[in-house]
Every structure is written in C-alpha cells, then in structure tokens.
Amino acid sequence: MMRERLHDLMARAAALARNGGRAVFPNPMVGAVIFDDAGTILAEGWHRCCGGDHAEIDALKKLGRPATGLSMAVTLEPCNHFGKTPPCSHALVNAGIKKVYIAALEPTDRACGGCSHLAHNGIPTEFVPGFENDLAELNRFFYTTAKKGRPWVTLKAATTIDGFIALPNGASKYISCPEALAEVHRMRAGHMAIAVGAATVNCDDPLLTVRHVAGPDPLPVIFSERLNLRADRKLLDRAPVIFTAVADADRLAPFTARGCRVETVTTIGQALRTLWEKYRINSLLVEGGATLHAAFLAGDMADELVRFIAPFHLGDGIALRGAPVLTDLTLCRDWQLHATGRFGVDAYIVWRRGAPTARPE
C-alpha cells in the first residue's frame, strides 16, 4: 500500500482518538481503523471511557464479523495485559487481523508487549512516523504518569499588567474578563484535580467547580503544610484531599470528620506521587496562590505555566511569586513559549518544558 494512504489512515485514527476526551482518564486517548488491501476503511473505533472497550475492540465490534485478511491502524501499541479489560493484542490475534500499523509504543511496563505478542502469533507490526508530536500533545497527561510517576502539573495565574494577582486585601475576583474566566473553567474541566493553598481557601472560600462551561468537576486538593486551614470552609464539603506535614491526630480530626482525605507528606513530590499512585489523578491544575506557585516552581514540579494578563495596573497588591532568586541567568532559560492568544481583553500565554514524547524507543 502506498505510504501516503497509510498516513491518511493513521491520521483518521488520530482524529478518532480525540473523541475519548477526559472520559478515558487516566488511560490514553486511542483511535483505530480497520481497512482492506485497497485502503478502504471498513470499521472505526476509539477508546470511549476508562474501563470500557479500547479502540481496537470498539473497531472490531463495529466490523461485526471476523477480521481475517484485514489490517488495522492504531495510534498506540495494543495493550498486552489483563486490566479492567482483556488484552487487545490477544483479541487481534483471535479476530484474524493480518497486520497492525502503530504510531507509538506503549510506554508502561504493565501494558507493553503487544507488538511482541502479535509477532509471536505471525502478525507483523509496522511503525507509521509523523504523529509523535500530535500524540504527545494529545496524551501528555498519560505519558507524564507513565514516565514520571506523577500527574502533569499546570500552574495557572491571572495577573494585572504589573504582575499582581490580587488587591492588598487579597480580593481577586474581578481580575479576569468573562471570556478568560470561561477558559479557566474549560481548563478545570480538562484536568482531573485542582489545587489551591490554605490561604486561598481561608480568604476566598472557593468551590473550585466547573460553572461557566459544561464539564466534570475536578477533585479539589488543598496544600496546607502547617494545617492553618479553617474547618468551616464550604470546599471541605467536597471531600478534598488535604496535603499537610502535620501528623497530630487531634489536629486532623476536624477535617477527617468533614470527610476530607488527609495525607501527611513532607514534599510536593510526595504529594504528587500520592495523587497518582493512590487516587489515579493524571493531571493537576494549580490555581493559587502565590506561595503555592512558588513552591511548585522551587521544587521543579511544573510542566506548564499558563498566564492570563488583564489590561490594567494595580500599583500595589499581592504579587505572583517565582522560584528562588538565581544568580546565573543561564539557569532560567528552560521554559519554551508554547502558545499565545487572547480571551476577551485579556492576553493569554503558555510556556512548557520537558513534555514527554510519544516517539517509539
């Protein structure tokens, strides 16, 4: 088959993968197409939700008959383990698929080996290049958990032109315009968890829900090293995860009595590993405040910086803090501009670094 047609088939599989959205988290978004020797697509599928059929199985079911003599293009190497569903590699063998084209290898030790299983059963696999960047972007949360053992972390801040996030009294409700606020809520819906510090909870009493757009609410997370957190805040009714260095049972009791899940940790790294290993959270949106942002930057625990800049000056107030001061400017050249734009009257800037890739190893 001509290479151009294989590229088109994989492009269709990649487009199908996007249909999965957040419903598949913490699994990856995957798409698949089944086609004949002429390159005619006979069935399509995608991973629809965590615990549901994977893309390969979805496509096979839609085909509705044995796949003997047919080929498949799938964006990720078929899994080779028994999890919430049986291994896709076994299903492809049983269905009679004659060849499998992939765009990326499975990065986890638990699920890898699908290509080897297919080869052992006489089914060749072939890599289709050109989709590494798109798939790395699409499944950046998945690749981060697979390679770093923690969630992808987005630090989001809304500031004035002169770099303040709130008035001197802490009020920050009206810094962002309505269009920027709607985008923030889309970001909330696109992450599995959302984090703030104790000062933000005490001052703003936020709900941290998705309100201005349609989408699921993220799991609320509160960082309070000294547990200087008011026990009467309405956010505690949402059973948040609270990370603190305090281990005193008497001090923890008012929060556990409210249904909070309290985790005693000493570093942000430990907290992030707990979010992934215990709660299966693959993405964390950190919204505030300045001290928490500084802690994530100081600990080198951020993958993405998102800034909304409102077109006015405060002259004074609470400023967004950064990591500890550096004496060598060459050490601060590690962020790359990823995207710019505007929402309403507000500017929008995104920086990224160290994003995992989907390139086969």
Tell me the three-class secondary structure of the chain, residue by residue.
CCHHHHHHHHHHHHHHHHHHHHHHCCCCCCEEEEECCCCCEEEEEECCCCCCCCHHHHHHHHHCCCCCCCEEEECCCCCCCCCCCCCHHHHHHHHCCCEEEECCCCCCCCCCCHHHHHHHCCCCEEECCCCHHHHHHHCHHHHHHHHHCCCEEEEEEEEECCCEEECCCCCCCCCCCHHHHHHHHHHHHHCCEEEEEHHHHHHHCCCCCCCCCCCCCCEEEEECCCCCCCCCCHHHHHCCEEEECCCCHHHHHHHHCCCCEEEECCCHHHHHHHHHHCCCCCEEEEEECHHHHHHHHHCCCCCEEEEEEECCCCCCCEECCCCCCCCCHHHHCCCEEEEEEEECCEEEEEEECCCCCCCCC
Whether 183 is catalytic: no
Q: Which of 4, 44, 56, 287 is catalytic?
A: 56
Strands 31-35 and 71-74: antiparallel
Residues labelled as active-site residues: 56
